[in-house]
A and B are shown apart, each in its own frame.
Chain A
């Protein structure tokens, strides 16, 4: 792998940028791997990267049905934060946050992680109480989160209106200053480049069709559209299609797949300094470095794999955006799209073992998986390398839907996150 540096940049500038090499190979699949990862999104690629760097497991393949980073990794609104209520979630997302903070250096790839702050607005008495509880719980877990008055919210985010005359006035907000955004494609590409350089095979256009098992029931490999590939362990990281893949393996999963939409505006000069989320009126907004306003809408109410959602969902979000930020009232939207997210009953992910020995799963990130990408990959790599969950992902077992030990962030946040 050729490292990016000022020197390499200047050299290439002098030679017309003709010398850059491919960032990852396009290898033919080998007969057998130690670990096969199903799904080449951010989480799958991060898993492969940490298997190679932390655990020295380099005989690894990442199998991707389409192209890497083409699913929800390339479709989300790139918000990164870690101010979750419960200890288990806080542990997982804060683990990710710490990895985000050094990620560009570690990968030698600019993931454009920008800690511009994530402000969550409170619009009613219940919000205020709930968010203050979050602030206190987060501080006990060593996670920064602070309560702002409406005037302080306005000072932090000047486009915001704090007029008491709007339908749901701003009563305050919880601010995580370390939160922010990152460049989603760069996260997939950076991990892919780093994993490939350490020997991981990234195999695109390779759909997994079935599971091969030993007579004792344990994993022997996977059947794919490019032939049979042997594997000692298999990790499924297939996001919205986890249910489909696991169905081919004969397993049911406690997830339902629903469309989640986002949209961007025409690009404008820098007008929006931070990330603002409003759960109550449902609006998520930030500004990309290209200048587009990046806006996250809600999920549709029904199961779907169509990668498109109802127009009323994005209209509802735009109504909220225009009410909170009147200056955007005449802004034109450039494009909208949908991704398929796999939602668990308790809105927390599933990371760990399955009933089949040698088969592991990392799914159920629902509407908020991007922020966890480095941490998810890191602990899932540990799980795949050792066969046992890491301390951080142990509570996120599939078995919790039998024992009833749920991590009920859905109730805690009162909204998809």
Chain B
């Protein structure tokens, strides 16, 4: 197991290097940030000074190598717009996105998997049909529209929940979290619900398909013949057998939501990284874009690694193959 993890970490370093080159060139191609950096009425002299100060007069490969050199010292550069270290900037926004994403993905899984299993266990019952109808809605209705409807219904018309922002936060491990205060939780609820609908639909479908398939197998029939109750069969046999695709999708959804929860964060004015990256793209804030994209790549690598470790925990057959 340790060998496997070391191998994966080396692999991850290589991937990060390739990503950094791709991202750096890509962002370079998007446009010259100099126009954003100085006011339009600045003199030619100031313009050239600024270009030199940021190293923008150097060829691309030189800029990239400088960037790598600073990276090796843990320096991602400073944001052009906020004029503060990029990492500090991103990490000041990250907890907001992290808790929003976690709430959405965990909520969707915790609710979607049991409901999906029920729909797979009793495919013809009216309740199952209702569950499937909701899941079709979750798939087909655009997130931003649902967000607006949620705000209109619960914040504007009913006035039960706040329409935006993080609300009160409390510190844990030196980071501010909304979910630790009641007010923060109320603020978290609507955006998390908005984000989770699509994931909920996905989990319902996955769990349903898996359950339907497993229920027909001899494993279930044999368990029934031994006198196991239906609840025990679903909980101990079926859930374990359908877990692998669920964990896979959980990882993918977690990663992609962490990276781009933009629509929801914008609609609910949630001060997370999604909004930050959109702002920095429109202002051509290069260091933020580069650092953010690399961070996203890093998250995906870590998530995939955890998913692989989870596979081995869930399926003993994968364990032996790896050891061999």
Same complex: no
Chain A residues packing against B (C-beta within 8 Å): none
